Structure 1
């Protein structure tokens, strides 16, 4: 069992269930605070998005295995299929920096509902992450929802194990 800090130990006493619930809340709060820089990077990227047609600005940020944060925004094009989502923009920055693994993703949009990566972007993220990689949806009020990449894309396509 993970160790708790002195104040938490004092407050929890010896009840194992109470201790585990409190430790779970503490770990969750730690993840949120660790994600603040990622969300801020995604928000900053959204502000730079090129979205003259839809006006739907999206920013994404990924955390590389090194801990560095890479951001990208959506880039629309008059020839609609040629536009680019925010997630591949962030992944491009990751690869250009020499990294190939992600440990966390944030997607930021000023939308009524949580914004998740589209299906194609989920597959692109799966190329660099794992089923356990956290994917955070954020907006003007901060974090809105959180999933794992595996929950968003069960049975992701992979060539692993192929001849």
Structure 2
């Protein structure tokens, strides 16, 4: 259940937050994790209201594994969605787990620093914080913009 402060702070309705949690939980059931048995589901609330799901997909060659967050974002980008209102992640542990460092940087490529990251635990409780708190002093696309030749 979301609180009024969370809905006000992030401009989301209680229904949107609840739906995001339900979808992230459902995505978790799609995880392929025969080695770690650590299921992760991700749900992205796109600007158009659609929700895109992702789950972690492990590989016998561990570095080839892809996290739920990167799966969801890759799928969304390929589908033409490039603007996101919120990210939801769900695991089977408590307290909730946050996205790993690699995923935080991946999220940064596509989300504003104020984008809320909701992290649900095994009991349906969540913690939420903006991306900026999860990835302080981040490096993003704006650092790679080419300088204006007229400014030289």
1:144 shift after superposition: 2.0
Say whether the 8 Å CA contact 1:136–1:143 is kept in structure 2: no
1:32 shift after superposition: 3.9
Cα distance in 2 between the residues matched to 1:157 and 1:118: 16
The one-character-per-residue Cα deviations of 1:80-104 (angstroms, maximum 9, x if unpaired) are: 0000000011102211221111110
Say whether the 8 Å CA contact 2:43–2:88 is kept in structure 1: yes
Pick from 2, 5, 8 the counterpart of residue 27 of structure 1. 8
Say whether the 8 Å CA contact 1:38–1:63 is kept in structure 2: yes
**Aligned-partner SS, 2:73:** helix
TM-score by length of 1: 0.79
- Does residue 145 in structure 1 map to residue 108 in structure 2? no
- Does residue 127 in structure 1 map to residue 100 in structure 2? no
Unaligned runs of 5+ in 1: 1-22
Structure number with larger C-alpha Rg: 1
**Aligned-partner SS, 1:116:** coil
- What's the RMSD between the two structures over aligned residues? 2.0
TM-score by length of 2: 0.84
- Does residue 81 in structure 1 map to residue 24 in structure 2? no
Pick from 136, 140, 145 the counterpart of residue 154 of structure 1. 136
Unaligned runs of 5+ in 2: 147-152
